[in-house]
Amino acid sequence: MKQQWVLRLPVENVATLGHLRLIPGIQVAESPSHLWLRGSQMDERLSRLLRSIPDGEIFTLMEEQQLVPAGKHVPQGYLPTGEWTPIQAWYSVQLEKSSLAGISTERIALELKRSQTTQPANVVVTSLVQLSEFVSHCAQVRLAPLLYVVDAQQRAVIYGSPLPPIEGTHFCESKGVAVEAGWTWTPPVNAEVLRDLFQLSKGDLVLLHSDQSREVIRADQFVRLSRSSVRLSLQQFVKTSEPNF
């Protein structure tokens, strides 16, 4: 059986984990004040990287989830229980630039008109602040089916079903084409035609606004919605705005 290692570091040191993101097999969990990493593979390069992380503490994970500090023999506490996420997925939520979607407002050849039919919405554009207030009081199981992305203006686009009861502009999506609720496009071509027109790939989303503008969001810009990802997205904006005060 392979020996597992564990790393504990203060949550504010999240930015120091970027160089670990592409190493396979590493998982991340969160507690109120710390981030926890674990893995079952260890070589000289990884050991050097882990030891270079400021305020990081390395442990060996023993039976019954006991933690033994590196270089010692006596257990010191237990590995906390929690949700473990592969670092590739977890870290992209926090810091990867693609999570701040570039928004296009180019005009489209199609025109939108008022729709005579009603369809359920599965996309909503709201603010990051409103999203943060919602997720802080929502169970993670309720958030699990949803994807989201944040742009440079702190707008949040939430994609999935059922949508949260949150204020914003709602859209009805089919095959990656989302039209503002209460509207439809003319001429009434199939959504597949629009996919080709906007050159959408699997997982991409185009938002068609009632003012005739569009926004294209690529699949790799969306991440899973969770309390931790939203909290860290807010922290990113706080950090970037601090020098301007």
pTM of the predicted model as reported, rounded to 2 decimal places: 0.56
Between the ranges 151-155, 179-183, 230-234, where is the mean pLDDT highest?
179-183
Which 3-state string (H, E, C) describes the chain? CCCEEEEEEEHHHHHHHHHHCCCCCCEEEECCCEEEEEECCCCHHHHHHHHCCCCCEEEEECHHHEEEECCCCCCCCECCCCCCEEHHHHHHHHCCHHHEECCCCCECCCEEEECCCCCCCCEEEEEHHHHHHHHCCCCHHHHCCCEEEEECCCEEEEECCCCCCCCCEEEEEECCEEEECCEEEECCCCHHHHHHHCCCCCCCEEEECCCCEEEEECHHHCEECCHHHHHHHHHHHHHHHHHHC
Strand partners, 24: none
pLDDT at 196: 87
pLDDT at 91: 66
Q: What is the pLDDT of residues 9-22, one digit of tens each?
A: 888 777 677 778 77
Measured between alpha carbons, how far is 170 from 190 in angstroms, rounded to an integer? 21
Q: Where are the domains of the chain?
A: 4-90, 97-240
Q: What is the pLDDT of residues 97-108, one digit of tens each?
A: 334 444 444 444
Confidence of residue 216 (pLDDT cuts 50, 70, 90): very high
pLDDT over threshold 60, residue 183: yes
Q: What is the mean pLDDT of the chain?
A: 82
Percent of the chain with pLDDT over 70: 87
